[in-house]
Amino acid sequence: MISSKLSEQLNTQIGLEQYSSNLYLQMSAWCESEGLTGCAGFMRKHADEEMEHMQRLFQYVVDTGARANIGAIPAPRSDFKDIKDVFETTLAHEETITTAINSLVATAFEEKDFSTFHFLQWYVAEQHEEEGLFKNILDRIRIIGTDGTGLFMIDQEVGRLGQASPAEKA
């Protein structure tokens, strides 16, 4: 059993994960339209991962006997200046998700709901990994640059990351 405050916050997080999935799917469409097929594949795979994050939360809420509610999901941004803008937006978005997860963890702790606290640790670790991944990509963009051959190399490199296992991405 979870409190109504926590179930409400978990439901908000379900919406945020769904929004993340839509945002990355939309980014993949932008990448495709720019001919960046490596980045498009990476974003599409990441959209699938966010969907799994959403499902994991949904299942947890249902398992506690509370009702999972899917609220309105705002339309994601669809246009970007360049690939650097895409990944800067991604990192900023993940930072807001980390804040939301931290707030959930704080509520679970305050309420001494250690089952939910334990469940959320997976998300804490996931956010750490994702922020690291996107910072890493932005570093490569800064080092390699995005003019001509640089953009081609970035696309290949990001495409490779999209296929790698989490351990290989580190």
Residues that bind ligand OFO (CB under 6 A): 17, 20, 50, 53, 94, 97, 123, 126, 130
Minimum CB distance to ligand OFO smaller for 56 or for 84: 56
In angstroms, the CA 90 to CA 108 distance is: 27
DSSP 39-64: HHHHHHHHHHHHHHHHHHHHHHHHHT
Q: Are 152 and 119 in contact (CB under 8 A)?
A: no
CB of 38 to ligand OFO, least distance (A): 19
Minimum CB distance to ligand OFO smaller for 58 or for 123: 123
| Residue whose beta carbon is closest to ligand OFO | 53
DSSP 61-105: HHHTTPPP-----PPPP---SSHHHHHHHHHHHHHHHHHHHHHHH
Q: Are 27 and 80 in contact (CB under 8 A)?
A: yes
CB of 149 to ligand OFO, least distance (A): 30
Minimum CB distance to ligand OFO smaller for 31 or for 54: 54
Minimum CB distance to ligand OFO smaller for 40 or for 57: 57
CB of 25 to ligand OFO, least distance (A): 13
CB of 85 to ligand OFO, least distance (A): 18
In angstroms, the CA 162 to CA 42 distance is: 4
